[in-house]
Amino acid sequence: MPETVQLFITCLIDSFFPHIGEAMVRVLNRAGVRVEFPAGQTCCGQPAFNAGLRSEARPLAEHTIRVFEQTTGDIIIPSGSCAAMIRHGYLELFRDDPHWLARAQALAGRVFELTEYLVDVRGVTDLGARWPGRLTYYPSCHLLRGLGVDRQPRLLLAHVREAEVVELPERDDCCGFGGIFSVEHPELSAEFLKRKIANLEKTAAPTLVVADTGCLMHIQGGLTRQGKPQRVVHIAEVLSNQR
């Protein structure tokens, strides 16, 4: 009887990049896991929380807790940022409310970022994936420093057949997305982005792998604006690729 997990797809993948969600389901299936998708889910509330609008973030956090309380099993999220929001951000959000804090803690214990779940929980590092060509990986800030997840995506990528994984210079530096930061402070955000793209070009890799959709749409948006040929892909896309 295979393990069953709950998918928290995140509002960005749901709305903008549903094919990443499909890739993720294939990856989880291949790791021996059955996937369920609670239909009531929307957004974890991080945009409002990060903006400081906690009274706006709270209803969405409560909604998310209610939706997933009706399910059992681990909750897998294809985003370090959203996973960090539920694991750490909710505890902050409900810090002064013992009732909701307890419910948030229970949820936090069930939440895993995709690569963290595959490697640390399932013990899987080789998914039989194939990706001909050069790849470079950018560790998103909330995944790297918020969750401390770095070894896991690297292990997974190291087992991708025909992929030549090269190091991204200044890899740990922020790409400048930062949610509403990139809208509120576009000048600063643009400088970070410029540097990230310049570093990507140094690797001569046509493909940048990330594990967070915010960074993906930010960097891909910059590449597209500049007419650059590189593509940014989610790690689930790489891991689900067989051909």
Partner 1 sequence: MNKDQTDTEFIPLKNFHQRIRRSLANETLQLALDANAARRKASRQAAFASLPDLQERRARAHAIKAEIVAHLEDYLAEFIRQVEANGIHVHRAKDAQEAVSIVLKIVKDSPQRLKDSFVNPPDLSGEDVLIAKSKSMVSEEIELNHALEAAGYRVVETDLGEYIVQLRGERPAHIITPAVHLRRQEVGVLFAEKLGIPYTEDIPTLTNTARKVLREVFLNAHVGISGVNFGVVESGTLCLVTNEGNGRMVTTLPPVHIALMGIERLIPTLDDLALFLSLLPRSATGQKLSVYTSLIHAPLPGQTRHLILLDNGRLALRASPLAESLYCIRCGACLNACPVFRELGGHAYGSIYPGPIGSVISSALVDPQFDYLAQASSLCGACREACPVDIDLPGLLLRVRAGSSPRRTQSDPRGEQKEAKQHEGAGIPLPVKLGLKSFRLAASTPRLFAALQTLGGLLTHLLSPRRAYLHLPAWTGWGYSKDFPRLAVRPFRARWKEIGGREQRIESREQGIESREQGAERREQRGESREDGQEVVERFVQELTALGGKVERVSADELAARLQAFLAETGATQALTDDTVAPLLGKAAVRRPDPGIPVGVTGALCAIAETGSLVLVSGAGETLTASLLPPVHAVVLRTGQIVPTVAEALARPEVRRAAAGVIVTGPSRTADIEMALTIGVHGPGKLTVFLVDER
Footprint (CB under 8 A) of partner 1, residues 191-210: 191-194
CB atoms within 10 A of CB 160: 22
Any contact of residue 139 with partner 1 (CB under 8 A)?
no
Give the binding range for partner 1 (CB under 8 A) out of 42-50, 69-77, 106-114, 204-212.
42-50
Give the binding range for partner 1 (CB under 8 A) out of 69-77, 129-137, 204-212, 221-229.
221-229
Tally of residues, the chain: 243
Q: What is the dihedral of CA 96, 177, 35, 235, to 10 degrees?
A: -140
Query: Which of 5, 6, 31, 212 forms a contact with partner 1 (CB under 8 A)?
Result: 31
Beta-bridge mates of residue 111: 75
Any contact of residue 183 with partner 1 (CB under 8 A)?
yes
Q: How far is the CB of 215 from partner 1 (least distance, A)?
A: 10
Residue 147 three-state SS: coil
Q: How far is CA 228 from the centre of its chain?
A: 24
E strand or H helix that includes residue 164: strand 161-166
Query: Which of 101, 155, 165, 166 forms a contact with partner 1 (CB under 8 A)?
Result: 155
Any contact of residue 190 with partner 1 (CB under 8 A)?
yes
Any contact of residue 70 with partner 1 (CB under 8 A)?
no
CB atoms within 10 A of CB 3: 14
